[in-house]
Amino acid sequence: MNVSDSKPGLVGLAAAFAASLCCVLPLTIVLLGLGSGAFMMVTMQFRPILYPLGLAGLAAGAYLYFREKRACNAKGCRMARRGLNRVLLGLATVLMLIVTYVDFFIMSL
């Protein structure tokens, strides 16, 4: 398996996980009883940095995927790791939707 074949999906997934570090991860750790509110407050400080980086990374992953897909269609070849990239980008998108929901709707209550 060549890592560059699944680069778009991995970029999107890494970006979504990085963005979720400020919101979903601390909330999960506190709800499981493994951390404290202080831990959550420390990690939430980085929300203005991590959330936009996560969105930018997800957009970069989607751009890389569609650029590669367009290049393969132009050459008449089949895109390598097409299914894996779609799954990873879908997982990253779902994770970013969860982060957005938690950050903007639940945390504002």
pLDDT tens profile 74-107: 888 877 777 888 888 888 888 888 877 877 777 6
Contacts of 25 (CB under 8 A, 6+ apart): 43
For residue 4, what pLDDT is reported? Answer: 64
For residue 35, what pLDDT is reported? Answer: 67
Three-state SS for 37-95 is HHHHHHHHCCHHHHHHHHHHHHHHHHHHHHHHHHHHHHHCCCCCCHHHHHHHHHHHHHH
For residue 37, what pLDDT is reported? Answer: 67
- Render pLDDT for 8-66 as a digit per residue (tens, 0 to 9): 777 777 777 777 666 666 667 767 777 666 766 777 787 788 778 878 888 888 888 88
pTM over the 0.85 mark: no
Which residue ranges make up each domain of the chain? 3-106
For residue 3, what pLDDT is reported? Answer: 57
